[in-house]
Chains A and B, each alone.
Chain A
Amino acid sequence: METENEITGKKTVMVVDDEQDVLLSVTQILEANNYRTIKASDGYECLEKLKEEIPEVILLDIMMPGLTSREILEEITKDGRLAKVKIIFITAVHSLEAEEAGLLNASQVVDYIEKPFSMKRLLDAIEKVVTE
């Protein structure tokens, strides 16, 4: 899988969102900016796909049906293979609410983007992570 990245030279971003239109829009933006994307509609799909492939960044929504964000976060942080993956929340939930829920404590969580998001803000955030 690493090799694939090397071949194409593209960084991989996993987008997890239960809203298909959001999923579509975000991946469209990312792909237009030369990122490879993996789509997941909920926590189960996210964890399932992480078994096959390890992205550089995960864009994670909060408040999705199925697994809660906390559960997803726990699964990711305890999986040694995923230690280098950075997580950026992209959500309509207020950041202070997420902070209160203890979602921002994990060191892998590097940014928090509130919806509706600005394209520039999104691209800057990812850019910052992948160039590090």
Chain B
Amino acid sequence: MEYRHPYLGLEPGKKKPLILVLAILFGLVLDAYSSFILGKDIVYTHFFYIPIVLGGIWYYRDAVYVALLLGLVHIITTLIARDFGIVTLEAMQRTAIFIIVAYIVGFVSEKQAKSLVLEEKKRRDAIRKSEEKYQSLVESTDDSIYLVDRDCRYLFMNKKHLSRLGLSGDQFQGRAYGDFHSEDEAKDFAEKINHVFVTGSSIQYEHEGSREGYFLRTLSPVKDPETGEITAVTVVSKDITGRKHAEEEIRKLNKKLELRVIDLEEITRMKTQFLSMTSHELKTPLTPVNAQLQMLREGYMGKLNAKQEKSIDVILRNVERFGNLINDITDISRIEAGRIRVSFKRMNLNDVVNEAIKMQEPFAQEKGIKISMRLGELPIVIGDAERLRQVISNLLENAIKFSKGSSDVEVETKRDGENVLVRVTDHGIGISREDEEKLFRPFSQIDTSMGRAYGGSGLGLAIAKGLIQVHGGKIWVESEPGKGSSFYFSIPIEQTIEEKEAPLLIRRSH
């Protein structure tokens, strides 16, 4: 139903040319009559029909044709009135004036019509645009959108839903939800639609399609803007199959992870238990061996000759080594499991150094090595004295072990900013740069053949590193091959017992 005007290519709508024809005929008759009756060429007669004709023109809205037509009519009537005699100049002038007036009226009318048409066009454009907007909204989504009436018959559906149902164009017309779904689904859907109609409120639910996947459906009422009556229900159906599967997958994974965590906790628990068991089981047979040997050595079983004493010393020494090895293995395993046990107290590191030196002195003397000390003034630190003694002892033991001849070993302690620093220096074989990083790994001996020659398991420094780390400190080495090495470790001063134990507690509680 388009609005077209002749000039604009648009039609004048309901306006009928008949009215114009009638108006013209009426004017014609009136003009002829008045001319005949009155027998004169009376201008006034025109005034009878002019308003009517002009009204027609306004109505018809076509200035030029109408004006010409009217001019023609006027001339004819005038000619008739004069019995087809000569048309006077005066009559011609009147006709011309008449045409001009008609033209002006028609012109104005047409102008107005044009603006009306333009307005109408604008209005329709706006409507079309907003419709396009909604259309693109409805079509651009991945969701199915459709409109159903009370009987679940489709009133509209977007392309997405058309294709989902295997339809095209307006094939949905006259079909209902039940045509595309199982009986159970249809029954359920009908109930939900009914619910929306009755309550007037939206509902949302997850729907497991009998043919495909999962959908999240939102059913909302469509109300008549005037009466408020519910006329239909829109259904927005979001395909959540992927999400559902992902959720399912996540649930499964979570379950698996949970089991793994339980497994791991169990393993960690077992490992710790195994460690204390192993250490206990290994030490148990060693204990009577060690005790009996000591008794033998002390002459409890009768006096020994020198050879026997020497023999038992060898055995005893190795029994002790074996005991230390068990301790070292337990320690390194605990360090690796993050379960090393320490007991933090306020302590002076110099006391610990002194103690360690006292313990290592005999071994140094055996090699003719002098241990010199430069102990600085140290603040109290929080630490496990026994463990730190173990670290310093190992550094000293190494220094003595890897010293060349009877070169001296030096121990220095000092405050270094916010740390206390311990240095153990020897003038022994030294360590090459590549080897420096290997040192602190468990079971690492730079040259295994040499390591064996010097004795030891390669655990000492790895344990030392673990113990120093537990203290929040650092351990490192500076060395020159062939000239000697300096091992350092530092421990922060400004840490309370709580601060030190916090990470341990966390680890332990796991």
* A residues with CB within 8 A of B: 19, 21-22, 24-26, 28-29, 32, 63, 92-94, 96-97, 99-100, 115-119
> Does B259 interact with chain A (Cβ within 8 Å)?
no
**A96 and B341: CB pair below 8 A?**
yes
- A69 and B209 CA atoms in complex are apart in Å by 65
- A92 and B342 CA atoms in complex are apart in Å by 17
**List of B residues within 8 angstroms of A117 by Cβ:** 287, 290-291
**List of B residues within 8 angstroms of A24 by Cβ:** 288
**List of A residues within 8 angstroms of B287 by Cβ:** 19, 21-22, 25, 92, 115-117
> Does B295 interact with chain A (Cβ within 8 Å)?
yes
Closest residue of chain A to B319, judged by CB? A116
> Does B163 interact with chain A (Cβ within 8 Å)?
no
Q: Can you offer 22 A-B residue contacts whose CB atoms are under 8 A?
A: A19-B288, A21-B285, A21-B288, A25-B292, A25-B295, A28-B291, A28-B300, A32-B300, A92-B279, A92-B280, A94-B276, A94-B279, A94-B341, A96-B343, A97-B341, A115-B284, A115-B286, A116-B283, A116-B286, A116-B287, A116-B289, A119-B295
Which residues of B in the span 160-213 have a Cβ within 8 Å of any Cβ on A?
none
Chain B 278-312 interface mask (CB, 8 Å, partner A; 1/0): 01100111111111101100101000000000000
> Does B442 interact with chain A (Cβ within 8 Å)?
no
**B343 and A22: CB pair below 8 A?**
no
Describe A's contact surface by its main secondary structure: helix
Closest residue of chain B to A94, judged by CB? B341
**B294 and A92: CB pair below 8 A?**
no
**A116 and B291: CB pair below 8 A?**
yes
- A29 and B330 CA atoms in complex are apart in Å by 29
Minimum C-beta distance from B284 to chain A (A): 6
**List of B residues within 8 angstroms of A97 by Cβ:** 276, 341
> Does B323 interact with chain A (Cβ within 8 Å)?
yes
Closest residue of chain A to B298, judged by CB? A119
Closest residue of chain B to A26, judged by CB? B291
**List of A residues within 8 angstroms of B341 by Cβ:** 94, 96-97, 100
- A28 and B291 CA atoms in complex are apart in Å by 10
- A29 and B288 CA atoms in complex are apart in Å by 11
Closest residue of chain A to B286, judged by CB? A116
**A99 and B291: CB pair below 8 A?**
no
- A97 and B284 CA atoms in complex are apart in Å by 17
Minimum C-beta distance from B322 to chain A (A): 9
- A28 and B330 CA atoms in complex are apart in Å by 30
**List of B residues within 8 angstroms of A29 by Cβ:** 291, 294-295, 300
**List of B residues within 8 angstroms of A22 by Cβ:** 284, 287-288, 291
Select B343's contact among A21, A63, A99, A118, beta carbons within 8 Å: A99
**List of A residues within 8 angstroms of B330 by Cβ:** 94
- A96 and B387 CA atoms in complex are apart in Å by 12
**List of A residues within 8 angstroms of B295 by Cβ:** 25, 28-29, 32, 119
What are the 9 closest A-B residue pairs judged by CB atoms, nearest first?
Answer: A25-B291, A21-B288, A92-B283, A116-B290, A96-B341, A119-B294, A115-B287, A116-B287, A92-B280
**List of B residues within 8 angstroms of A92 by Cβ:** 279-280, 283-284, 287
**List of A residues within 8 angstroms of B342 by Cβ:** 96
Closest residue of chain A to B334, judged by CB? A94
Minimum C-beta distance from B335 to chain A (A): 14
- A22 and B300 CA atoms in complex are apart in Å by 16
Minimum C-beta distance from A32 to chain B (A): 5
Chain B 329-353 interface mask (CB, 8 Å, partner A; 1/0): 0100000000001110000000000
* Interface-centre pick from B280, B284, B342 (highest chain A CB count, 10 A): B284
